[in-house]
Amino acid sequence: MDKKTRRQSELLRQLEQVRYISLEDIGRHFNVTTQTARRDVQELELLGKVRRLHGGVTLAQPIDPVVLRARRVENADAKERIGLAVARRIANGSAVFIDTGTTCEAIAQALLGHTGLRVVTYSLRVATLLSEGANFTVAVPGGFVRPVDAGVFRAETPEFIGRFKFDLAVISVSGIDSAGDIGDDDHSEVAAVQAAMRQSERILLAVDNSKFGRRALVKLAHVGDVHELVCDGEPDKGLRAQLDQAGVRVTVAP
């Protein structure tokens, strides 16, 4: 395998993890010029493997389910600690929206010691975990079930979520970039979460620190739009400055 082929294969592996990489980042990571990075991207695009987008590149097709299943065990200890920290922030009897994803599944597991929670979620995995809770009320929208993470979507999902009022919306995202924008890689998922944020008194963002510095495809909000960040490690100085300026409470899970 020649140097270019190895470089392009490694780029595809990187995209499976972060979903989007700018041409400048490709150049820095592989120590090549921006022109060489652009040629690599153009060749991979001709092969149908990537798609150019906003000065960078993303995968042309959804990530393989095998890769997604492998992610379920990524940072499992950190997610468990985040789950416990978030659960301590939620009072018995609260009305809560809970996002989808493995971090939110850990939060759902940690909430089983609570009583009387009223929860709306579009994650069947979260709903199944919470169904074992003491006198919980759990609502999920109807629709098509997304493979691997069991998210439930249809065009009316944001409208369904928007009918409820929440004491707290617990959200998780694919990435928080250097500009402080938080986002995900699925437009339908972003629309559902934004509907919950509009209906909630407080918004709690729960992420492990592998999400810091990642850029997602679809902007959900800015870090200044949330009230609290719960993570497993201290954010870098730039992100921490933005959080402090916006008055966002930061809780690092012990």
What is the structure's pLDDT at 54?
Answer: 67
pTM of the model: 0.76
Q: How many domains does the chain divide into?
A: 2
Which of these three, 61, 79, 110, is where a domain ends? 61
Q: What's the pLDDT at 95?
A: 98
Both 23 and 145 in one domain: the answer is no
| Domain containing residue 42: CATH number | 1.10.10.10
Strand ranges (DSSP E) for the chain?
Answer: 20-22, 50-53, 56-59, 95-98, 118-121, 137-139, 144-145, 152-153, 166-171, 175-176, 181-184, 200-206, 218-222, 228-231, 249-252
Range of the domain at 219: 70-252
Same-domain check for residues 110 and 213: yes
- List pLDDT tens digits, range 76-111: 889 999 999 999 999 999 999 999 999 999 999 999
Question: Which residue reads 């899970």 in tokens?
Answer: 253
- Of 70-79, 81-90, 134-143, least confident by mean pLDDT is 70-79
78 and 151 co-located in one domain: yes
- Same domain? For 41 and 139 the reply is no
The contacts of residue 77 (CB under 8 Å, 6+ apart) are: none
Write the DSSP string, 82-98. Answer: HHHHHHTTS-TT-EEEE
